[in-house]
Amino acid sequence: MTGFALGAEQEEWCAELRTLAAARLRPLADKGEPGRVNRPLLAELGALGLLERVFDAGALELCLLRESLAYGCTEAETALALQGLGAHPVLSAGTAEQREHWLPQVRAGRAVAAFALSEPGAGSDAAALALGAEPDAAAGGAGGWRLTGEKCWISNAPEADFYTVFARTGEGPGAKGVTAFLVPADRPGLSGEPLDMLSPHPIGRLVFDGVPVGPQDLLGEPGRGFAVAMATLNLFRPSVGAFAVGMARAALDATLAHTARRPAFGGVLGDLQAVGHRVAEMATRTEAARLLVYAAAGAYDAGAADVPRRSAMAKLLATETAQYVVDHAVQLHGAAALQRGHLLEHLYREVRAPRIYEGASEVQRTIIARELYR
């Protein structure tokens, strides 16, 4: 990639992914049940080697993958991204035994991963989480803990096969007292329920009633879990922006096609200056967001020092832009776009959540300001 354009091979790969998403993944997504994990779709992502790419790719390649899949099948994109989000801490901080047991299954689409950070009282302020980890030598041997509390708005819960869980072990105040654990779903005391949300992908609540974990379940060191969480989010935040850009580009292309053929006032909608100017604004904002996402991903791959600021900027601009573009696309399509099953009706429900998860837009602005003043 140059500073402002993808290379020919990258463009070809993205085109192949968009075609693959529409032809191979969209039919499986359509057969799935909203709000439930679609295991056949995950298995196909594994068989196609796309889940493998999530763990082997750099940030830019991850962004291209997510953007291209989102254009053709948002459900496939989300299923892929959630596997990466839930299992990346295992890749980066897990033991050899944890990696050998879980990662091949995740890459193949046989095991479902989940990232369990948010709580009823700790969403945007992740350092305020309250899930307790009480020392208990009987739990997992010497140096064990028991987890007690709740997690909420956890993607893939309660159907995941394992959870990356962040709990308070108390080595210090705030973020300094948080530890990351790998918790298999069959641990005694762990239960959950699905939540009926606006977006169609699976989200649920988890209850920990003295769930035993031991030193073998640690992801990294005690008291260092917040760093594990932030390292994961810094990688995935630009690619959340890429997901948003993929949706924006799909909405923009649908709008161009619709306004070019829809009869209106003796011509077509696109002949109207008000419509043409609005489409021009949608296209300009989408392109600006796309370039900022690529720049943030490139900075991550280069090991730049300003990754937190760039990642926050990319997620902020791209998700806010996608909301704008999809909303105006609905307006230009009129009532047809509100009909259940229409592409834009689907995108309208999908596009709202990314402005909240993995750090709401207000949190991204706080990160950007903090980094600027640092």
pLDDT in tens, 312-330: 999 999 999 999 999 999 9
Mean pLDDT value across residues 298-325: 95
The verdict on 166 and 210 lying in the same domain is yes
Given a contact cutoff of 8 angstroms between Cβ atoms, the answer to whether 167 and 181 are in contact is yes
- For residue 328, give its domain range: 227-373
pLDDT for 139 beyond 70: no
Give the mean pLDDT of the chain. Answer: 94
* Confidence tier at 142 by pLDDT (50, 70, 90): low
Task: Please report the pLDDT score of residue 141 as a whole number.
Answer: 56
Distance between CA atoms of residues 126 and 251, nearest Å: 32
- How many structural domains comprise the chain? 3
The verdict on 103 and 219 lying in the same domain is no
pLDDT for 173 beyond 80: no
Q: Which two tokens stand for residue 107?
A: 């890459």
**Which residue would you say has higher pLDDT here, 164 or 175?**
164
Q: What percent of the chain has pLDDT over 90?
A: 87
pLDDT for 174 beyond 90: no
Given a contact cutoff of 8 angstroms between Cβ atoms, the answer to whether 58 and 105 are in contact is no
Q: Which helix (H) or strand (E) holds 75?
A: helix 74-93
Active-site residue, from 67, 75, 119, 358: 358
Span of 77-81, 110-114, 169-173, 269-273 with lowest mean pLDDT: 169-173
Whichever domain contains 37, its CATH number is: 1.10.540.10
pLDDT for 189 beyond 90: yes
Domain end call among 182, 202, 223: 223
The verdict on 27 and 142 lying in the same domain is no
Task: Please report the pLDDT score of residue 216 as a whole number.
Answer: 95
Distance between CA atoms of residues 90 and 47, nearest Å: 21
Span of 27-41, 128-142, 288-302 with lowest mean pLDDT: 128-142
* Confidence tier at 2 by pLDDT (50, 70, 90): low
Q: Which residue has the tokens 């996402």?
A: 293
Distance between CA atoms of residues 69 and 309, nearest Å: 26
Q: Give whole-number Cα distances, 311 to 3, 238, 280, 283, 368, in Å.
A: 17, 5, 26, 22, 9
* Confidence tier at 121 by pLDDT (50, 70, 90): confident
Number of Cβ within a 10 Å radius of residue 62: 25
The verdict on 246 and 331 lying in the same domain is yes
Mean pLDDT value across residues 160-185: 91
Mean pLDDT value across residues 31-50: 96
33 is catalytic: no
Task: Please report the pLDDT score of residue 170 as a whole number.
Answer: 82
The verdict on 207 and 257 lying in the same domain is no
pLDDT for 82 beyond 70: yes
The verdict on 252 and 238 lying in the same domain is yes
Let me know if residue 2 belongs to a domain.
no
* Confidence tier at 50 by pLDDT (50, 70, 90): very high
Q: Give whole-number Cα distances, 120 to 34, 71, 82, 215, 289, in Å.
A: 23, 32, 20, 27, 31
Q: Give whole-number Cα distances, 66 to 80, 221, 236, 277, in Å.
A: 8, 31, 10, 29
Q: Give whole-number Cα distances, 88 to 120, 265, 331, in Å.
A: 24, 54, 39
Distance between CA atoms of residues 300 and 47, nearest Å: 28
* Confidence tier at 3 by pLDDT (50, 70, 90): low
pLDDT in tens, 349-370: 999 999 999 889 999 999 999 9
